[in-house]
Amino acid sequence: MPSAPTIPADIAKLSFEDALKELEEIVRTLEQGKGKLDESVTAYERGAALKKHCEAKLAEAASRIERIQIAGGEARTAPFDAT
């Protein structure tokens, strides 16, 4: 079974916002269908890596969000539950 591809170092350095912006640009370019096949495949692969990076950043942010619970006059934190 092939291992999951790693995120390239240049993408790993990007903020969520910068990665998302680049991903949106790639999607627009691919939707236009004007590029050469090899360039489109390379752009698609980069887009997949950017998507994976954005998903990881979102998961990291969600795990850091905590909500404060007041129970018995004592404040405590609990993991964020979006449901």
Contact between 19 and 54 under an 8 Å Cβ cutoff? The reply is: yes
- Tens of pLDDT along 36-65? 999 999 999 999 999 999 999 998 887 777
**Does 74 fall in a domain?**
yes
Distances (CA, A) of 65 to 44, 51, 71, 79, 82: 32, 21, 19, 7, 10
Higher-confidence residue of 40 and 77: namely: 40
The confidence band for 77, taking pLDDT boundaries of 50, 70 and 90, is: low
**Does 43 fall in a domain?**
yes
The confidence band for 15, taking pLDDT boundaries of 50, 70 and 90, is: very high
Measured CA to CA, the distance from residue 73 to residue 65 in angstroms comes to 22
**Does 45 fall in a domain?**
yes
Q: What's the total number of domains in the chain? A: 1
CA 31 to chain centre: 20
Q: Which domain holds residue 68?
A: 9-79
**Does 27 fall in a domain?**
yes
**Does 3 fall in a domain?**
no
